[in-house]
Structure 1
Amino acid sequence: MGTFTEPRQAAVCSTPCAVSAHPILLQIFPGAEGWPLPKYLGSCGRFAVSTSTSPLRDFYGAGPDQAADLAYQLLGVLESLRTNDLNYFFYFTHVDAGTFGILNNGQLFIRDASALGVIDRQEGSPAAAGAGESKDVFSCLLSGCQAELPSCYGIPEKQSLVLVCRQLLPQLLQRKFPSPVQEEIDSALDQCGEDARPDPEVLGAASRLKDILRPLRTCDPRFAYRYPDCKYNDKF
């Protein structure tokens, strides 16, 4: 049975037109091309339609193998949003338990893109952009508007990781694994979620957490999105 979700609308600007980032992103970065976003249907962008999906919050009580799989996928999604062949940098302004969803084949995707911003890194370096860079609502496709938007180059690489490691992954991974694995996971989560740490340390902690989680996943038909490929390919 289909699930209909109405995306949160962007805050009303002082300018004549307010823009919701959610339908724009679904059209510019379609799931059919590999982006972790739901399929866009319709012309007005009022509804997003998906089949047999559940929000991440429904899996907070999942067993260790499923929790490890979802956390591993989530870190992989954030990595692909930060570094991809098209040189776009995506970042979240905030996340909650409904931001991400899981399809009936076990695959994780971005369920609500209204808090997702995107920067085109091919437009030039910070030095080239200088003080004269455009700061209208379309520059970064920010959700919501402010009197003066922050520079695209002021968004740290670690931003999405800090939000996810602080607010979502602990709910999914705490008290799920035996010692000393749980202690290693908790330590990596603590470091990944510390906003005061420089970008390389947060990125390193996230990479270490991903390495810990990888062997904790199982390969069986419950994870249809990667089965039976996981039986023959180390990539899965």
Structure 2
Amino acid sequence: MGRWICCLCSRAADPLMLLLVLALGCNPSTAAAAAAAASPSVPHVKPSYSFGRTFLGLDKCNACIGTSICKKFFKEEIRFDTWLSSHLKLPPSSLLSYSGNYTDDAKSWRLVDITRLTSKYQHDWADKRICTSLLRTRSCSLERALRRTQRFQKWLRAKRLTPDLVQGLSSPLLRCPSQRLLDRIVRRYAEGPDAGSIYMDHLTDRDKLRLLYTLAVNSHPILLQIFPDVEGWPFPRYLGSCGCLLVSASTRPLCDFFGAAPEVAADLALQLLAVLRSMATNDLNYFFYFTRVDAGTFGVFSNGHLFIRDASTLGVIDKEEGTQ
């Protein structure tokens, strides 16, 4: 129980800080001070962009989320905003999230959310910081730099993802990691080959780097993969990733319903209580807790069902381990 309390009291870290800690092995407070000193108040925003690897973040791979849905982007089966014309320009790459349209047959379209784990400006700043510290250059291959870290070298030699391999990563998901939870992450990781095994033999070096990167920066995509909506978990469906962009089923933030009719508000309140109850009591004996809640944490699908829209602040405690 003492270990649980310690985990619950840990401070949530900014995704940029997590990446710097992963690469540099530095103290989060030191990285935060450096970021504050180096970051201008408002990043430069270009009016439009040409579609390509840089916008998607593919130029960073394999220090990225994944590539499972890239073909959809290049075949124009995923398009930004509510426009269905393929000739319209892309939105600014400085945004954290976009509304998009997704199709499987080029005839029927459905809304999706396209999000970044952290801002493009923060990514670029972190890249320069890592290159300067590890390779003594202003620019470099982020993948090559991260491959040289001691943590990743341990991952390459490991047959199984164990708690010591994720120790020090400040994602709430990994504050109290049980072996059962880590096995579930490996077995259900959607950006690698589907082997259904708890061992990492089926993961290539590239897959391991992408998994480590995602866990270090923002665990939201991992939670959507290991607790899918088709099994009744209150998360939007994970459709795939491309570079630094994540595509999931579209939801409206709960704050959009603050002025809703009383009967709608009452229904959403009851759904919210049910979701929170399922987070504490479920068949798998996992206890979910929030490290932070804001207006964008919960969302509502077009059918009125309430879900957890942003899982990046969720921690998970394995109650089975706590009873052993």
Q: TM-score, normalised by structure 1?
A: 0.47
Q: Which has the larger radius of gyration?
A: 2
